[in-house]
């Protein structure tokens, strides 16, 4: 989807994304892009198979260069998480470990609360082939698992990162949706709406629509409900009155008016 | 992430994913994989640039073959949504249209409630380059937008699909806790709505309303938006077509029909 607005501030911060023994640079890059889409910026990489820096990663990041440039490489998961206060381990597999298990939404709420209290957090993601090993998972405070289709559970790395970045931003509630579209339109004054109803119903009566007479009140009420639901503005009402004039071929004249 | 368990049932169903003028087969395939990961299975494709079927799509779907095999191709967005009752249009851009705007979570809740009530729904996603055009969006009941980082808003197609598939499965998992079902009217199938639009617009054209011609598309779009907002049932549409007949004094005849 298009829509990047480079005049608006770049959202950064949030928990660290820790990729543990990733293989392809390209997958690191698409993960970085997913982070940037939802305002995460801190990437840590444990023992990347194909080395670092990676041109493939930079290319696949599609412009999320600040994530790639800021990435730090560690030799082990232990070193990568040494300064973090809360660590979640992402896995789709059932593990024989007694740890708390969180879904993405609950995890994002926990991360948000912790980060908001000044405790830096991280999320571990395993490599493409084997995921996290038991050693990595044992370092985490809780397991994060996704509500995937059990018969088709394999998410690629960028997709797994994307969902947590998305949930982080949802929990943070700072971006896009709310502020951009929040303004409510100015609904038309009721007098204008009633003027439209009078116009419509007068012409419907002339056109023989409101018959038999005993059913007319219900028919009128149903039509009015349709237009009430549409939450009309003054401009909408001018358009709709123009529609009536075009369909009838005449300007509005009240019943009995000369 | 690994973890697929082929002994467990495959989750299918849910709203249709409608890819409008996608370009690369590979992106259709990764979108299909994202659908399968969270249990969506119905893929519709409007006018794919590189044709269909696509070996690139099948390969990129990484085993989500039931989604690829079941995909249906349509020549236009109108045809692709004709049997759907509720359609959301995904866009990151602000549009000059008065339509309801939903975030992914609210959208998934609405979709879940509607599908649960037996009304089939769909989500439109635009092609890689330009997204949905205004014509596509005018066909939708509401706009779906993501809380992206405004400075880095460009999601690829599979990522955009993934987030809604994920939210769909989340909503499915929490269903039963909400009670949104009861008050929802049965919305008319889109084919009936489009039939009403054709009737109205044909008569407006005869009545000289759609002038000057260069303004006609915007006038049509604004009128359609008014009626989209009204969330019309089949009964509402019969009433409104009766209104047009009463106002014009003639039954509907297509342009050029005898």
Q: Are A2 and B209 within 8 A, CB to CB?
A: no
Closest residue to A8, CB basis, from B62, B150, B155: B150
Handedness of CA A26, A28, A32, A33 (dihedral sign): positive
Residue B28 has pLDDT above 90, yes or no: yes
Distances from the Cα of A16 to the Cα of B20, B51, B206, angstroms:
35, 41, 63
Task: Pick A222's closest partner by Cβ from B156, B239, B245.
Answer: B239
A93 pLDDT band, cuts 50/70/90, is: low
Which of A66-80, B45-59, B81-95 shows the lowest mean pLDDT across its residues? B81-95
Nearest to A4 among B36, B151, B235 (CB): B151
In this predicted structure, what is the pLDDT of residue A1?
44
Confidence of residue B42 (pLDDT cuts 50, 70, 90): very high
Report residue A98's pLDDT band, with 50, 70 and 90 as the boundaries. low
Q: How large is the average pLDDT for residues A8-30?
A: 93
Domain with CATH 3.40.1280.10 in chain A: 16-182
Looking at residue B178, what is its pLDDT?
34
Chosen for mutation from B10, B94, B147 (greatest number of chain A CBs closer than 10 Å) is: B147
Give first-to-last CA distance, chain A, whole Å: 57
Return the SS3 of B98. coil
**A89-98, B15-24, B135-144, range with the lowest pLDDT:** A89-98
CB contact under 8 A, A2 and B154: yes
- pLDDT at A185 exceeding the cut of 80: no
Strands A142-144 and A86-90: parallel
Question: Residue B182 pLDDT more than 60?
Answer: no
Contact A181 B101 (CB under 8 A): yes
Least confident stretch, A174-178, B186-190, B227-231: A174-178
Angle between helices A216-229 and B234-248 (to 10 degrees): 110
The confidence band for A97, taking pLDDT boundaries of 50, 70 and 90, is low
Nearest CA among B93, B95, B102, B116 for reference residue B184: B116
The pLDDT of residue B183 is above 60: no
- The pLDDT confidence band at residue A101, using thresholds 50, 70 and 90, is confident
Question: Are A173 and B1 inside 8 Å of each other by CB?
Answer: no
pLDDT higher than 70, residue B17: yes
A91: nearest CA in chain B?
B1
Q: Taking CB atoms and an 8 Å cut-off, how many pairs form between chains A and B? A: 252
Task: Check if B122 contacts A (Cβ < 8 Å).
Answer: no
pLDDT at B180 over 60: no
Residue A130: other Cβ atoms inside 10 A: 12
Question: 140-179 in A: which are within 8 Å (CB) of B?
Answer: 146-156, 158-160, 162-163, 166, 169-170, 173, 175-178
Residue B239: which pLDDT band, with cuts at 50, 70 and 90? Answer: very high
pLDDT over 90 at A5, yes or no: no
Mean predicted confidence (pLDDT) in B114-129:
91
All residues of chain B having their beta carbon less than 8 Å from the beta carbon of residue A185 are 98
Residue A146 token pair: 């996704």
Q: Residue A221: its pLDDT value, please?
A: 81
Q: What is the mean pLDDT of chain B?
A: 88
Distance from CA of B30 to the nearest CA of A (A): 10
Is A173:B217 a contact under the CB 8 Å cutoff?
Answer: no
Contact B222, A242 (CB under 8 A): no
**pTM score, whole prediction:** 0.80
pLDDT of residue B5: 63
Selecting from A105, A159, A180 the residue whose C-beta is nearest the C-beta of B34 gives A159
* pLDDT tens-digit readout, A111-129: 998 888 888 899 999 998 8
Chain B residues in contact with A156 by the CB 8 A cut-off are 33
At residue A168, the pLDDT reads 95
Q: Which residues of B touch A103 (CB under 8 A)?
A: 170
Q: pLDDT digits over B54-74, tens only?
A: 999 999 999 999 999 999 999
**Average pLDDT, rounded, for chain A:** 86
Residues 6 or more apart in contact with residue B147 via CB below 8 angstroms: A38, A166, A169, A170, A173, A175, A176, A177, A178, B103, B104
Q: In A174-186, which positions are buried (b, 16+ CB within 10 angstroms) versus exposed (e)?
A: ebbbeebbeeeee
Query: Does the structure show a pLDDT above 60 at A214?
Result: yes
CATH architecture of A16-182: 3-Layer(aba) Sandwich (3.40)
Chain B residues in contact with A252 (beta carbon < 8 A):
none
Which of B2, B22, B29, B249 should be substituted to probe chain A, the one whose Cβ sees the most A Cβ atoms within 10 Å?
A: B2
Reply yes or no on whether the pLDDT at A178 is more than 50: no
Q: Which of B150, B241, B249 to mutate to test the interface with A (most CBs of A within 10 A)?
A: B150
For residue B97, the model assigns a pLDDT of 67
Q: CB of A226 within 8 Å of any CB in chain B?
A: yes
């Amino acid at each position: 989807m298009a829509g990047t607005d480079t005049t608006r501030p770049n959202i950064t911060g949030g928990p660290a994304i820790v990729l543990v023994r990733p293989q392809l640079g390209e997958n690191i890059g698409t993960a970085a892009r997913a982070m940037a889409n939802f305002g995460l910026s801190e990437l840590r990489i444990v023992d990347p198979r194909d080395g670092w820096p990676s041109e493939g990663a930079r290319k696949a990041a599609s412009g999320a260069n600040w994530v790639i440039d800021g990435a730090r490489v560690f030799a082990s998961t232990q070193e990568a998480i040494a300064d973090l206060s809360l660590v979640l381990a992402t896995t789709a597999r059932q593990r024989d470990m007694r740890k708390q298990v969180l879904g993405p939404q609950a995890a994002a709420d926990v991360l948000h609360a912790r980060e908001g209290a000044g405790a830096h957090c991280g999320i571990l993601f395993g490599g493409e082939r084997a995921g996290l090993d038991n050693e990595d998972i044992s370092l985490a405070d809780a397991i994060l698992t996704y509500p995937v289709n059990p018969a088709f559970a394999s998410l690629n790395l960028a997709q797994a990162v994307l969902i947590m970045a998305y949930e982080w931003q949802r929990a943070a509630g700072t971006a896009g949706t709310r502020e951009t579209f929040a303004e409510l339109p100015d609904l038309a004054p009721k007098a204008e709406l009633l003027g439209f109803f009078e116009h419509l119903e007068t012409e419907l009566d002339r056109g023989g629509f409101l018959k038999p007479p005993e059913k007319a009140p219900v028919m009128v009420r149903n039509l009015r409900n349709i237009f009430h639901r549409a939450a009309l503005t003054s401009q909408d009402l001018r358009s709709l009155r123009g529609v009536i004039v075009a369909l009838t071929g005449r300007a509005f004249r009240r019943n009995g008016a000369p």
